[in-house]
């Protein structure tokens, strides 16, 4: 049994991002509990511009911690419709609440069929071992 939170209501990537369907084709995106723990104390988040169009798998930002930094990869293609300014002001929100107050961007998906490539919570748990 994993020590990490992996909510069943989210979809996941092999790169440890998560996506939550917010309705109307919009998905909130962040990093998983596993990723924030591996990074350690997060000190900075580089957020993209609202309105930027992402391709599936494209790098859209960086999370920096006291240990290292990690690129963020788009789990879905689409337009960034919101960024979480709160995590820019206080990056530790990602450590404290990776799935709620620690979300990073919201994307309006341009190809909803791409969600088929994302992992279920069970598949992500299996990936983590």
In 3D space, the residue among 3, 26, 9, 79 whose CA is nearest the CA of residue 48 turns out to be 79
99-110 pLDDT per residue, tens: 999 999 999 999
Whether residue 33 contacts residue 4, with contact meaning beta carbons closer than 8 Å, is answered with yes
* Distance between CA atoms of residues 82 and 80, nearest Å: 6
Whether residue 104 contacts residue 83, with contact meaning beta carbons closer than 8 Å, is answered with yes
* Distance between CA atoms of residues 45 and 94, nearest Å: 9
Sort strands 26-31 and 17-23 into parallel, antiparallel or unpaired: antiparallel
73-112 pLDDT per residue, tens: 999 999 999 999 999 999 999 999 999 999 999 999 999 8
Mean pLDDT, rounded, for 58-66 = 96
**φ, ψ dihedrals at 48, nearest 5°:** -80, 175
Lookup: tokens for 38: 């591996």
pLDDT at residue 1, as a whole number: 47
Q: Is the dihedral of CA 3, 7, 12, 17 positive or negative?
A: negative
């Amino acid at each position: 049994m994993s020590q990490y939170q992996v909510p069943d209501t989210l979809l996941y990537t092999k790169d440890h991002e998560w996506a939550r369907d917010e309705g109307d084709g919009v998905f909130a995106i962040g990093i998983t509990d596993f990723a924030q723990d591996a990074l350690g104390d997060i000190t900075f988040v580089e957020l993209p511009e609202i309105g930027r169009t992402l391709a599936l798998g494209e790098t859209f930002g960086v999370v920096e911690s006291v240990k290292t930094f990690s690129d963020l990869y788009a789990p879905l293609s689409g337009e960034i419709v919101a960024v979480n300014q709160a995590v820019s002001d206080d990056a530790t929100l990602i450590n404290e609440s990776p799935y709620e107050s620690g979300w990073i961007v919201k994307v309006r998906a341009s190809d909803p069929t791409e969600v088929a490539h994302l992992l279920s919570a069970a598949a992500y748990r299996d990936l983590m071992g």
